[in-house]
A and B are shown apart, each in its own frame.
Chain A
Amino acid sequence: MVTDVLNALVLIANFVIVPGLAYGSQLALGALGVTLVYSVLRFSNFAHGEMMSFGAMGTVLMTWWLQSQNISLGGLPTALLALPFGILGAIALCLFVDRTVFSYYRRTRSAGVTYLIVSVGVMFAIGGLIRFIIGPKDRVFADGDRFILKARAFKKMTGLSEGLSIKTSQGVTVIAAIIIVALLFWFLNRTKTGKSMRAYSDNEDLALLSGINPERVVMIVWIITGALAAIAGSLYGLDKSYKPFTYLQILLPIFASAIVGGVGSPVGAIAGGFVIAFSELFVTFAYKKVLGYLLPDAIAPSGLMQILSTDYKIAVSFVILVIVLLIRPTGIFSGKTL
């Protein structure tokens, strides 16, 4: 009986909890970037997905070069060594885009809608640039050990009939996300620059009166956004594989995470990321085997016992987005709504 319950739990851990933690971390990092841009520059950045993709591309290219030089990190993916290069690339791109495109609309004090449409143009331009440089194909750049914990080893260790496996990329993702989020919160809450950023986001006029330089705040926002985008993009690419098109698809779940958590609230972005990730997985998980362990054989279900078929995985995040917009548009953590 106890083993049955344990088996059921391991099954859920293997197919929902572990992938959910990794996917949730990726979404959370992406949503943090969206939320930061929103809270300081006050627009929804449609180009964020492509910024993630650009950063990831930098990491992929550098990884290939390192691999060709036979430099590696042993068991860990070489991409970690290449990540700073991707981050620098994404930061340079963000600053360039801001200088050439967004700064004009800031000067003319344009409406939020204008920014939104401009960011779609930026999305197109970066997307084209990426496909021009690296092409639209699927690229695998993960190396090192594939698993931290293999299903077979877990079975041998515990004697259970269900295995639990943890991919290296999943472990790296979660640990990296924890470090990044800790650093970000330390920066926002403890440093002078971080505080001036929060002040600027809370009340622009008051911040200007107290001598905060807006251009500097904007520059720092783009630097952080670029770094976050590159990290989120590279981790996502490491976990699945790098394909430019998927970064267009992941944009909506990221927006959903930011809005569900409350746009403009960093804590909300993280919470939103995990809410979206886990609901996607819980709703599309087939509970047949779990119920088979928990229920007596006589009433064990014959169907897959899925709430929705796996095909609807991404659609789940849109449904949650729509429900949240309807019931509580400010999100869980009551972000900004103007």
Chain B
Amino acid sequence: MLGAHKTKLLFLAMAVMLAFIGFIQSWNVSLAILNLCLISAIMTLGVNIQWGYAGIVNFGMMGFAALGGVAAVLVAMPPVTAGWEAGGLGIMGGLLAAAITIILGLQAWKRLAGQSRRRYWITALIVVAGYTVSRLLIDPAVSAIESIESAKAGYLGGLGLPILMSWVVGGLLAAAAAYVIGKISLGLRSDYLAIATLGISEILIYIMKNEDWLTRGVKNVNGIPRPVPYEIDLQESMWFVQLAGDLGIATDELSSIVVKLCYAGLFIIVLAGLFWLSETALRSPWGRMMRAIRDNETAARAMGKDVTSRHLQVFVIGSAVIGIAGAMLTTLDGQFTPASYQPLRFTFLIWIMVIVGGSGNNMGSVLGGFIIWFFWIESEPLGLWLISTITATMDDASPLKIHLLESAAHMRLMTMGIVMLLVLRFAPQGLIPEQKR
């Protein structure tokens, strides 16, 4: 009986929990959690496409999410004209030189196959020469760009286009990166693939942290334009003040609730669209083929399926979805902070979401995204409450009590790990198991 309605019941429970937070803490907190739940759900959809459909282990989500963030900066921020005049040409020339180097290097590597010693030397020579040329072009340009109004600008800026476009661009950017990464690493064994993707995504983050001309590095890009109205504009308009008066809510509180609702609306549209697409894909012959490859690669290959290029395809699609979510996250934050991309938050937490929700099942992944994000945020007050209850009888000055109260915040890391281990051990199918088709 429970089976048929389990999905509905679980989502209902989730809604009740969010509403509960709304009543107990505040609707602002509840909506803030909801928005990030929605973004997490999109990221889990992306991972589910790779892991659930095809069995590819991608530990590089953080890099793709960050690329989405870069897209938000490059699309929406106004261009810094002075920066372009000072060093635009040098940067472009340097990047062109780097691209030519890569093409030449690959060509030499391919053409000289079989002549092992000459192959290494000539390729190395091309790489070193190309690197030197592009550094000579880029370095002066970079210092010229970074010296322009370094407190405010110091980078090239973006294109000044509407921010919503960046969600598409973020997806495309992540897809392009995934194509290259997939070409390099999809041939590897699964655990090498996991390590390689983690490593490559760390490299991407390092570049974003340190190439100030592109992303302002650790100085962060603030004030990224919004797709929704600003609180301050709402508070100043007549109709809004009247509405707040009618509802009996303070204007500043209502304004931030409205803004969050607008975001939630946009996110729900994207999530619903992507969900519909993934479900359709999973039901189609393509989805059947992916499952066949996942369950028995050798048999699928024997049936004439091109496993390598299907893997590449699914890797690119999943990464694009993560890139879209990354662009949405930066849009929601209104700022791009490269230092905030950490594997703990962006890679491993997302994996827990997929596993707890149920890999191979889109509905399950979405639910996992909601539940895990909810508890990731709420476990802090919960843990604090738990510890205070346990230590209630202790003396206030007791060092053990002080230590326990201080460390309550770290309980969530341990709890997440234990939840993940318990699910893997006792319910490897997750909360909503994959449907048998």
Residues of A within 8 A of B (CB): 43-44, 101, 104, 112-114, 116-118, 120-129, 131-133, 135-136, 248, 252, 255-256, 259, 303, 309, 311-312, 314-315, 318-319, 321-322, 325-326, 329, 337-338
Contact = CB atoms under 8 A, between A and B. Distances in A.
Q: Give the interface SS of chain B, mostly helix, strand, loop or mixed.
A: helix
Q: Which of B203, B412, B413, B420 has the most CB of A within 10 A?
A: B413
B209 A311 contact: yes
Contacts of A319: 203
Given A125-B414, A136-B410, A318-B200, A116 B348 contact: no
B31 to A, nearest CB: 28
Contact of B191 (A101, A104, A116, A315): A116
Contacts of A303: 139
Contacts of A318: 199-200, 202-203
Interface of B: 55, 57, 139, 184-185, 188-192, 194-196, 198-200, 202-203, 206-207, 209-210, 343-344, 348, 351-352, 355, 406-407, 410-418, 420-421, 424-425
Contact of A116 (B57, B185, B418): B57
A54 B130 CA distance: 45
Nearest to A38: B191
Contacts, number: 124
B344 A114 contact: no
Given A121-B420, A121-B421, A325-B184, 14 more contacts: A43-B191, A113-B57, A113-B190, A117-B57, A120-B420, A121-B352, A121-B417, A122-B421, A123-B417, A125-B421, A252-B198, A255-B199, A322-B199, A337-B189
Nearest to A45: B191
Nearest to B414: A128
A113 B202 contact: no
Contacts of B191: 43-44, 112-113, 116
Given A123-B417, A338-B189, A321 B410 contact: no
A312 B209 CA distance: 10
B196 A322 contact: yes
Contacts of B344: 127, 248
A128 B413 contact: yes
B183 to A, nearest CB: 10
A121 to B, nearest CB: 4
Given A128-B414, A248-B343, A309-B210, A116 B194 contact: yes
Given A114-B424, A248-B343, A312-B206, A125 B418 contact: yes
Nearest to B359: A117
6 smallest CB-CB distances across A and B, nearest first, come from: A128-B414, A124-B417, A125-B417, A128-B413, A131-B410, A318-B199
Contacts of A114: 424
Contact of B351 (A120, A125, A133, A325): A120
A160 B194 CA distance: 49
Nearest to A120: B348
A133 B414 CA distance: 11
Contacts of A113: 55, 57, 190-191
A259 B209 CA distance: 26
Given A128-B413, A329-B192, A321 B199 contact: yes
A315 B204 CA distance: 9
A178 to B, nearest CB: 28
16 contacts: A116-B194, A121-B417, A121-B418, A123-B348, A124-B348, A128-B410, A128-B411, A252-B202, A255-B199, A311-B206, A312-B210, A318-B199, A318-B200, A322-B200, A329-B188, A337-B189
B55 to A, nearest CB: 7
Given A113-B57, A248-B343, A259-B192, A311 B417 contact: no
B370 to A, nearest CB: 19
Contacts of A101: 421, 425
Contact of B210 (A136, A311, A322): A311
Contacts of B200: 318, 322
A133 B139 CA distance: 46
Contacts of A135: 406-407, 410
B206 A117 contact: no
A44 B425 CA distance: 19
A61 to B, nearest CB: 13
A124 B424 CA distance: 14
B192 A127 contact: no
A325 B421 contact: no
A318 B203 CA distance: 7
Contacts of A43: 191
A253 B416 CA distance: 25
B202 A315 contact: yes
Contacts of A136: 410
A259 B55 contact: no
Contact of A124 (B189, B199, B420, B425): B420
B199 A118 contact: no
A44 B194 contact: yes
B410 A126 contact: no
Contacts of A322: 184-185, 196, 199-200, 203
Contacts of A315: 202-203, 206-207
Nearest to B418: A125
